[in-house]
Amino acid sequence: MTRLAPRTLFFAGFAFVLALAALWHGPLGNGAARYVAYTESIGNQALVNWEMDGQVAVMTARDPVERRLWLAGNANDFQREQLVLILDQVPSIGDVNWWSEEGGTVRGEPMLPMIVEIELAALAAYALGIMLAYLHALRRHARRNDYI
């Protein structure tokens, strides 16, 4: 039986983590669809609480999915500011903007697509696991030569 090189195992684990995170976000876990449904329901609930559900609509940024909400509809300046402040406090929402009346969107702050955020978080967890495994191996090696 041939033994794989550590570098090969590292990159195989790297590719495996990326594939699993992409599958969770997409077809297997429906992470993107669940996130869109969750954020839009939170936004709609806030509109119902503030009695603006007939005047304003909430949409999550799609293609690609981002942690951004778009608000569209009729509201005065005070209502616009307050809705942005209220919805911006939801932990899973990164940015809230109003849809432009002239057509198109108002440019918000730059934001990574959610799939990129998920992939980066998965790679950070993988790197942490590799570091912990390395430290554990160092400890085992040091204890093997320890004579008490």
Q: Each residue of 66-78: pLDDT tens digit?
A: 888 888 888 888 8
pLDDT band at residue 24 using 50, 70 and 90 as cut-offs: confident
How large is the angle between the packed helices 31-49 and 77-88, nearest 10 degrees?
Answer: 130
pLDDT band at residue 102 using 50, 70 and 90 as cut-offs: low
What pLDDT shows up at residue 101? 66
Question: In sequence order, what E strands does 29-81 have?
Answer: 56-60, 68-73
pLDDT higher than 70, residue 1 = no
Does residue 4 come out as left (phi exceeding 0), alpha (psi in the -120 to 50 range) or beta?
A: beta
Helices and strands (DSSP H and E) totals, the chain = 4, 3
Q: Each residue of 124-141: pLDDT tens digit?
A: 999 999 999 888 888 777
pLDDT higher than 80, residue 116 = yes
What pLDDT shows up at residue 148? 58
pTM over 0.85: no
pLDDT band at residue 105 using 50, 70 and 90 as cut-offs: low
Higher pLDDT, residue 108 or 122: 122
The share of the chain scoring above pLDDT 70, in percent, equals 89
